[in-house]
Structure 1
Amino acid sequence: MKRPSILFFDEFDSLAPKRGHDSTGVTDRVVTQLLARLDGAEGGARGAVVAASSRPDLLDPALLRPGRLHTHLYCALPDRDGRYEVLKILTKSVTVDKEVDLRELAELTDGYSPADLKSLLVTAQLTRLEKQLDNTDEKDMKSVVVLNEDIKSALQETKPSLSKEQRLFYDMM
């Protein structure tokens, strides 16, 4: 008995970019073959094809027509409340001092993706670890308690991965 399945492609833009930009023609042949396979994969009872891309503008437009990848979902960056929820989840694995106000941090991190927020907390954690190693013998990451000063330092180092211009571009797509 055949079971339904989901075929998931991550970073799909690297697998199926717009044709005509490859001097060897190899990419064009791969995309053409992929289009043919997608055309043959119709019949929703057998499964679904899902693709993710952080650069949908680079995808070959033929992939996005009805019958292939016709439903498009835009996953916007989290708003302040969303960032607060992400920070609550992330701080389950990174110990922060009770003086650290996650709501304030959510306010300060406009334009940050969940991955950016994780990078921010890891940077703050490493900053605190370096200070602890200089002053104590503690080397266990679980003993590292991130302070407000570590967060402020990390905010100087860790910027959003998308510029305002890039965010506007994606919002308009």
Structure 2
Amino acid sequence: MSDFREALKTIQPSSVRSGVGLADFRPVAWDQIGGLEDVKLKLKQSIEWPIKFPEAFVRMGLARPKGILLYGPSGCAKTTLVKAAATSCHCSFLSVSGADLFSPYVGDSEKILSQVFRQARANAPAIVFLDEIDSILGSRSVSKTGRGVQERVLSVLLNELDGVGLKLTERRGNKAELENDSREQTENDRELEFQEVFNKDVVVVAATNRPDMLDDALLRPGRFDKIIYIPPPDRKGKFSILKICTEKIPVDPDVSLEDIAARANLFSGADLENLCKEAALLALQENKVEATPVKQKHFEKSLEIVKPSLTNEELEFYEKMFRNRE
């Protein structure tokens, strides 16, 4: 058995060789993401539960969303949340960006996107992650250049979203079954067919910080029918993020992370991580040979150096859009 385990480390499945978009990343647990408890629950319900408990969804007559759109300010863990969902489901992760898709050859971008979905179906269960989808696809209502490559890629994505979860090949049967089409299906046959139709185990997740740039056809039910707002961390979430970021940093017991979280106004999760790194560097500057613990004064100085990336106008824009969708 040990020989087989070693062989699994070296033999690569043929379905992932030269695969477009297939990505490997360090596993991310849900508890490694501070705050955002409501968002985590929504993602578990939309991605994790249908893959882990498909029978329960069939029994309740529920269908999982075909596409999930995460929108919100930059640096608020949209990509990390998707990686955590892929880790918890133990599924394949295909990440696609504009650099992966766009090609100088006519028709090549559409072909690459179709290949991504073929790879996802071959390696199901799988998550297809479209990062910065606003840079990949534009809105046809604001396009002034006619039918460009973005419009053709959008058309391919819409067709794939309509096809994911549907039976792609006809069911094969013996000659007697094919000749006797009028024969009434048994209960097991109907249940099996429903499972084949429902349980394709491919979910499309997209992230953007410009949801106003997306085409309306993407946001209708049946495509990206689950739209989730990823807000900046609140005070409790900031404290949780600071605790996670300082787990591997020697912090003086007198440091008050709650006070730092209260003073970190308009800080995103990425800003808070940068804040902790800057404080550790300041402590290292004092004694490069023997690193001293990070003290409160280092965090105070770090708050003066590191500036927040969010603005009140930006948050008002997202809050207004979030209210309009409720």
Q: State TM-score, norm by structure 2.
A: 0.47
Other-structure match for 1:110: 265
When Rg is computed on C-alpha atoms for both structures, the one with the higher figure is 2
Structure 1, gaps ≥5 residues long = none
Other-structure match for 1:148: 296
Structure 2 matches for 1:74-89, cutoff 5 A? Answer: 74-89=229-244
In the aligned structure 1, how far is the partner of 2:270 from the partner of 2:216?
28
Contact 1:42 1:67 in 2 (8 A): no
Other-structure match for 1:160: 308
Cα deviation, residue 169, structure 1:
0.5
- Which deviates more from structure 2 when the two are superposed, residues 68-77 or residues 35-44? 35-44
1:57-100 alpha-carbon deviations (Å, 9 max, x no partner): 22222211111101111111111111111111111022221121
1:107-126 alpha-carbon deviations (Å, 9 max, x no partner): 01132221110011111112
Q: 1:6 aligns with which of 127, 132, 141?
A: 127
Instruction: Name the CA shift for 1:108/1:4 in 2 (closer, same or farther; >3 Å).
Output: same
2:324 equivalent to 1:169: no
2:218 equivalent to 1:45: no
SS of 2:231 mapped into structure 1: coil
Other-structure match for 1:97: 252
Seq. identity, %: 40
Which structure carries more relative contact order (alpha carbon 8 Å, separation 6+)? 2
Other-structure match for 2:157: 34
Aligned length: 166
Q: 2:137 aligns with which of 16, 28, 32?
A: 16
Structure 2, gaps ≥5 residues long = 1-121, 167-197, 322-326
In the aligned structure 1, how far is the partner of 2:163 from the partner of 2:265?
43
Other-structure match for 1:127: 282
Cα deviation, residue 42, structure 1:
4.1
